[in-house]
């Protein structure tokens, strides 16, 4: 029986790559920031599946619910969008759905009648607490292999990249 020749993979040629996921290294895109996009996509996919497993909440609705939970005085659609790094239309649609489900309510904004203040209802708080436990477990699992110093370093480095990215976005928006 003739021997079958196997093509060497990148991991065979570079032992450092033996434990990285498929697609982690792409020629001409060998940047940690490229890998951040890969991680973010998979995190989104897993998050969507977990949210769907526990009901009908979308990722956009979770973003609104979780941001409102950090704002005891409530927030406008624009404030939530800024905190969640998403556009206002996405927040507005999600907020409407959450309100229809009885998880949020809108109250008049004395400072600007055109922009109501969104608040969590008691049901919204209960939903938030239930889902926050799952989200906390998810993130803790992702960080299990990092010691506290590595977690702090990762957070610091991601903060630098996030700051640069938000500047770039502001510059592009003019």
Which whole number is the average pLDDT over 4-25? Answer: 58
Q: Residue 142: which pLDDT band, with cuts at 50, 70 and 90?
A: very high
CB of 67 within 8 A of CB of 118?
no
How many CA atoms within 13 Å lie on the side-chain side of 165? 10
The reported pLDDT for the residue numbered 18 is: 56
The pLDDT tens digits for 56-98 are 789 899 999 999 999 999 999 999 999 988 999 999 999 999 9
- Do 103 and 124 touch, CB atoms closer than 8 A? yes
Phi, psi at residue 96, to the nearest 5°? -65, -45
d(CA 82, CA 74): 14
Instruction: Report pLDDT digits (tens) over 17-36.
Output: 557 777 888 888 889 999 99
User: What pLDDT score was predicted for residue 94?
Assistant: 96
Q: What b-and-e string marks burial along 36-46, b requiring 16 or more CB atoms within 10 Å of the CB?
A: eeeeeeeeeee
Higher pLDDT, 15 or 3: 15
Give CATH for domain 28-146: 1.10.10.10
Residue 9 has pLDDT above 80, yes or no: no
Sign of CA dihedral 155, 160, 161, 162: positive
pLDDT value of residue 147? 95
Distance CA 25, CA 14 (A): 11
């Amino acid at each position: 029986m003739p021997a079958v020749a196997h093509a060497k993979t990148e991991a065979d040629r570079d032992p450092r790559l033996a434990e990285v996921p498929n697609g982690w290294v792409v020629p001409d895109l060998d940047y940690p920031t490229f890998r951040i996009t890969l991680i973010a996509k998979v995190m989104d996919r897993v998050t969507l599946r977990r949210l769907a497993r526990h009901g009908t909440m979308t990722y956009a609705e979770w973003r609104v619910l979780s941001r409102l939970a950090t704002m005891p005085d409530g927030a406008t659609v624009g404030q939530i969008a800024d905190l969640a790094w998403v556009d206002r239309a996405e927040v507005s649609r999600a907020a409407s759905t959450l309100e229809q489900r009885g998880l949020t309510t809108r109250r008049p904004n004395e400072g600007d009648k055109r922009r109501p203040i969104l608040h969590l209802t008691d049901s919204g708080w209960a939903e938030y607490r239930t889902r926050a436990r799952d989200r906390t477990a998810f993130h803790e699992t992702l960080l299990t292999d990092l010691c506290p110093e590595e977690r702090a370093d990762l957070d610091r480095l991601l903060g630098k990249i996030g700051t640069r990215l938000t500047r770039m976005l502001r510059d592009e928006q003019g």
